[in-house]
Amino acid sequence: EARAALGRGDRDAAVGALRGAVEAYERARARIGAAPLDAFFVDERAWAYDALARALTEAGEVDEALAVIDRIKARAFTEALLGDRAGDRGPDGMPTRRMVERAANLRRLRAPSARRGPGQVPADVAILEAYLLPDAMLLFWTLGGRTVGRVVPGDREAVERDADALLAAVREGGAEWRAPAQALAGRLIEPFVGQLTGRAAPRALAVIPHGALHQVPFALLPLGDSLLVDRLPVFSAPNRTALREAFSDPPPTPPRSVVAVGDPLGDLPGARAEVREVAQLFSRSVVLAGADAIEGSVRRALADADVLHFAVHGVRATRGSPAYLELQPDAGHDGRLHADELATLRLAARLVVLSVCDSARGRPNRGDEIVGVVDRAFLLGGARSVIASRWPVHDAASVLFMRALYQGLFREDLLSAFHHAQLALRHGDLLPATLGDGVVATLGTSRSAVFRGVRPARFGRTAQDFTHPYFWAAFTLRGDPR
């Protein structure tokens, strides 16, 4: 019915039919559960939601369009975990302990919970949200309580190519990142550039990406003769519901305690140096490094700390499967903290820092959401904010970034500390030489250099500074920016 109405140009009739289709899908989903959705719903459901969001945006009904988009995004993480079948069966064909554990965790995640209520995003924080369609992009800009939306014609595959090219160029360490960054800025930033300058300019920018845009460091996008990071701090959120929830609690107090976990397998000397340095900055600290970083001990230590810092490997059992944090096993645990486990830990941490290769990178599913990342899982588990990495981190740069971040966190809000740490690397204020020759000699080229065949970027001990985006644009902040 909706297709017929669109074919004859009757937008009102199409919107009415699409609303009915979406409600029918929602009722069916409630009856059958999420597990069969990949096989039963994906293509037709995606078309109905996409078509409704586009029609509403074209009609100027921006709030309803955003509600349609948020309806999918807000539950995409849990639905995607349901589709992960890795480790379901043992060699004998019987269900494994991991399968039973994951099923129990997913039941908890799908059950109604006492989640934080919606908060108020500050009026001086701008929100940029993008939603990719096959032949267009929906762009939404919110500032001072007012939202505008527009349909930007274009090829989704072109956006994906630019995002892939940007990521590849940054990881290679050259200057070729500038062309795809400029192309993405033209699509994403230029339509609103007038509102990023002048007296009414926002204090910060919250980005809600979609699809391939999850991997894009928006702070790296050009803005005139400078970059976005030079104008204002940037953080991100998985959806608008999560963004509003991030502001529902009062601003946090300065942190006092940290649990720092590093180098569980003994192959990351830079990570061990990093967690020891982080621990020295706090009045109360627990360091679990090397053989002490066993899963049971880590689980017990996480409950009470203000800050959780992980400098470990992030591993995927298969390409595209959700990542887990690799620890030491013990009698009751396999040494792998999976996304479903992290999402049900019920943490009270103000901040989780994942100095973990590719911890903010994964494969978007059709409903969106990067389902392979562990940072989203920590937010669902109760952490207020998460800092994670988009690509394999450089050990020496990571130590300097973390030092600047935590020192700033004791005197200013999280977003300012994060932003200032980025700028300190970008402007060459944090140099490898300040670590001392002995420390630099132990750090190697990249934390990925010892990790399962991942090619490190072309930087090593000979790097004179960390001004290239590979170093300062690696980390992303999600959740409460205060």
pLDDT (tens place) for every residue of the chain, 482 residues total: 999 999 999 999 999 999 999 999 888 777 765 554 544 455 667 889 999 999 999 999 999 999 999 987 876 676 666 666 666 677 777 778 778 887 788 777 766 555 567 899 999 999 999 999 999 999 999 999 999 999 999 889 999 999 999 999 998 888 899 999 999 999 999 999 999 988 889 999 999 999 899 989 999 999 989 999 999 999 999 899 999 999 999 999 999 999 999 999 998 887 888 899 999 999 999 999 999 999 999 999 998 899 999 999 888 776 666 678 999 999 999 999 988 899 898 898 999 999 886 544 444 444 444 544 578 889 988 999 999 988 877 778 888 999 999 999 999 999 999 999 999 999 999 987 787 766 666 565 445 443 333 334 444 445 568 899 999 999 999 999 99
Question: Strands 307-311, 351-354: parallel, antiparallel or unpaired by DSSP?
Answer: parallel
Residue 86 exposed, middle or buried by CB count within 10 Å (0-12, 13-18, 19+): middle
Question: Strands 385-389, 475-479: parallel, antiparallel or unpaired by DSSP?
Answer: antiparallel
Structure tokens at 161: 């190519």
- Residues 6 or more apart whose CB falls under 8 angstroms from that of 197 comprise 231
Q: What is the pLDDT of residue 280?
A: 94
CA 96 vs CA 85, 99, 186, 191, 335: distances in Å:
11, 5, 50, 52, 15
Structure tokens at 63: 């709030």
Place of tokens 């809000």: 413
Whole-prediction pTM = 0.89
In sequence order, what E strands does 82-199 have?
125-133, 136-143, 146-153
CA 54 from centroid of its chain's CA atoms: 25
Q: What is the pLDDT of residue 115?
A: 56
Alpha-carbon distance of 55 to 84, in angstroms, equals 33
Q: What is the pLDDT of residue 61?
A: 97
Q: Within 10 A of 126 (CB to CB), how many other CB atoms are there?
A: 23
CA 396 vs CA 232, 268, 326, 399: distances in Å:
26, 12, 21, 5
Q: Give the distance between the most distant pair of CA atoms in the chain.
A: 73
- Residues 6 or more apart whose CB falls under 8 angstroms from that of 479 comprise 235, 237, 242, 246, 379, 383, 384, 385, 386
- Do 403 and 279 touch, CB atoms closer than 8 A? no
What single letter denotes the amino acid at residue 431?
Answer: L
Strand partners, 307: 258, 351
Q: What is the pLDDT of residue 72?
A: 76
Place of tokens 């960054």: 181
Alpha-carbon distance of 63 to 65, in angstroms, equals 5
Alpha-carbon distance of 440 to 473, in angstroms, equals 21
- Do 371 and 386 touch, CB atoms closer than 8 A? no
- Residues 6 or more apart whose CB falls under 8 angstroms from that of 188 comprise 128, 130, 139, 213, 218, 221
Rounding to the nearest 10 degrees, give the CA dihedral for residues 428, 430, 433, 435: -170
Q: What is the pLDDT of residue 454?
A: 34
Structure tokens at 85: 């079948």
CA 32 vs CA 24, 35, 76, 104: distances in Å:
12, 8, 16, 18
Q: What is the pLDDT of residue 92?
A: 79
